Amino acid sequence: MEGCHRVPFGDLAALEKALAPRRAAGFVVEPIQGERGVVVPPEGYLRKAQELCLRAGTLFILDEVQTGLGRTGAMFSYQAEECAADILILAKSLGGSIAPIGATLTTRKIHHRAYGAMDRFDLHGTTFSGNAFSCVAALETLRILADENLAANSAARGKQLLEGLRSRLAGHPLVREVRGRGLFVGIELGATDSGWMNRHARPLVKKISKSVFGQWAALKMLEKGIICQPASHNWNVLRLEPPLTVKEAEVHQVVDSVAEVLGEYQGVAPLLKDVTGRLGKQFAKGWAF
């Protein structure tokens, strides 16, 4: 988009440089990147980024569309760093999975500057803005989140999930990292330093992991009754985002299932064998499902 510039995530020096000309109206950032593969920034990143924005006269804009509303073990992900946004963006879970709704939260002062004049007051009007059904669903979602203390459940079950996965997948030759916060967890698949193929055919292992491993693992999980997805910008990261209501026994089941699925693929050879075998069967059926 014209007038927008990318800044590498988690890189404060790059942000400082980008803000130096004091020309940036806003800096938009996810507290933890979702589609890129549950990328958690270095500790203190958000707080310092906010300070840099404040100094440069740039609005600090947090996109909590994925991380907000309990997903990372607190109502909002920024709370982990004790910082605050000038503008906070919410959507997705705000509608309680049944209604489409997004919200932009800001201060009265900023809202007034953006929309507080006769020629600008309806700049972002749409047919469905303020949709009554969606607003009721959002209010009920917020009520349930608070009444059932779901952020706390996300923190507790998320810890169980992260620890369980880290312990069961430790030393796996194709698991590079298990990371995340609360019930926002990613398993990065790819070449580690152990195993002959990983050491001697690293680019090939990397390519196979990116192109098929995440999707294949998600398919195998689906066959066990568990829905998960690879990250859309990094297919080698398998994302696990259980419902915030998930129970302890269900987290055990997820950890067991992931360990079973990934346990079958200690190297790329069995993975390629299974994937090509399945593709062969599909081909024979004329690609019918």
Residues lying near ligand PLP in the complex (CB under 6 A) are found at 30, 34-35, 63, 65-66, 91-92, 102
How far apart are CB 234 and ligand PLP at their closest, in Å?
A: 13
Query: CA 93, 224, 34 angle in degrees (round to 5)?
Result: 35
Our CB check for ligand PLP shows the closer of 92 and 207 to be 92
How far apart are CB 101 and ligand PLP at their closest, in Å?
A: 8
| Helix %, strand %, coil % of the chain (to 5) | 45, 15, 40
Our CB check for ligand PLP shows the closer of 198 and 234 to be 234
Query: Coil, helix or strand for 13?
Result: helix
What phi and psi values does residue 109 have, to the nearest 5 degrees? -65, -45
Our CB check for ligand PLP shows the closer of 101 and 155 to be 101
Query: Coil, helix or strand for 249?
Result: helix
How far apart are CB 91 and ligand PLP at their closest, in Å?
A: 3
- State CA 99 to chain mean position distance: 20
Question: What DSSP designation does 42 have?
Answer: P
* Cα torsion through 70, 89, 84, 183, rounded to 10: 20
Our CB check for ligand PLP shows the closer of 102 and 267 to be 102
Contact 68, 112 (CB under 8 A): no
Contact 222, 135 (CB under 8 A): no
Contact 240, 71 (CB under 8 A): no
Our CB check for ligand PLP shows the closer of 65 and 208 to be 65
Our CB check for ligand PLP shows the closer of 50 and 67 to be 67
CA distance 106 to 87: 5
Our CB check for ligand PLP shows the closer of 229 and 257 to be 229
CA distance 150 to 261: 29
Contact 64, 34 (CB under 8 A): no
Which of these, 208, 162, 210, lies nearest to 182 by C-alpha position?
Answer: 162
Could you list the beta-strand ranges (E) of 140-284.
Answer: 175-181, 184-189, 229-231, 234-240
Our CB check for ligand PLP shows the closer of 63 and 188 to be 63
How far apart are CB 70 and ligand PLP at their closest, in Å?
A: 16
CA distance 273 to 271: 5
